[in-house]
Amino acid sequence: MRRILVTGGAGFLGSHLCDRLLADGACVICLDNFDTGRHANLARLLGNVHFTLVEHDIRLPLALGGLDEIYNLASPASPPRYQSDPTGTLTTNVLGAMNMLELAARCGARILQASTSEVYGDPEVHPQSEAYWGHVNPVGPRACYDEGKRAAETLFADHRRQFGTRVRIARIFNTYGPRMRPDDGRVISNLVTQALAGGEMTIHGDGRQTRSFCYVDDLVEALVRLMATPDDITGPVNLGNPDEIAIADLALRIRELAGDRARLVFRDAPQDDPRRRRPDIALARDLLGWTPGVALDDGLRRTIAHFQSELVR
């Protein structure tokens, strides 16, 4: 059996990845410090003999052996979370990446870095391809995350060049689905919880800013395919859904699907909030044979159903 480490495995995306890897017949070690991850995301896995949970902060070295693959997902991902402890966010991404690279090198394991579309900042090129170097404010309130992920990509690329480490870099665009935290501050979780409450649905800015949303099952499939590529395919590779939607239109769709009781209100946009975000996924299509398959309305229905059950609990 493959022995796979998933850092950040108790989080929204990490827990879905743990599910998939176990279903594929792997032995999974989930590592999390539970800063933003949740025990509830792993409850159904704790009785699985092929699943191990380790509570650890990846800013500290980790003594493990016999690993075949490492998925490095450990990092707060929503702006309110990563901005609440900016130095912690930056060091998690930089020191954590270094520690995981050294572990991968010792084990001879493949390692995948979960990078982000935030490395493109507020882009001046649209859609964003991997060849675009980005437009990032290095001293703004989002820089702890943006620059932390950019530095991690640099470490991965340099570690491969210097030591031959078997790396892959995935640039993940907005992803959504069940197990998102209701209080995580991301746009879909905010709008869904507000719509279900039937009060106000908050839109920051004029609502014309755009995003592209990928359902979590599609994203996990792409990560698994990228990890399985030959070692000369290192990335970065954009992973996301290229269907672009304005935030105001997204809010209207969520409101309709959730019961059409809430009203939209507009607030000031946060500093350095990107105006447009859409991935060019030509490379993922060519290298991985991958395109997302879950339509936005279908994914939103599943996500709303999950949040309804959370609110009941």
Active-site residues, by number, are 145
CA pair distance 304, 10, nearest whole angstrom: 21
- Distances, alpha carbon 69 to alpha carbons 17, 46, 88, 126, 218, in Å: 13, 21, 25, 33, 20
Neighbours of 274 (CB within 10 A): 18
CA angle 5, 21, 3 (to 5 degrees): 40
Q: Cβ(92)–Cβ(56) under 8 Å?
A: no
CA pair distance 163, 221, nearest whole angstrom: 29
Q: What are phi and psi of 25, to 5 degrees?
A: 95, 15
- Distances, alpha carbon 36 to alpha carbons 96, 118, 214, in Å: 16, 19, 21
CA pair distance 105, 165, nearest whole angstrom: 6
Q: Cβ(213)–Cβ(186) under 8 Å?
A: no
Q: Cβ(214)–Cβ(91) under 8 Å?
A: no
Q: What are phi and psi of 138, to 5 degrees?
A: -75, -10
Q: Among 6, 20, 294, 13, which residue's Cα sits nearest to residue 175?
A: 13
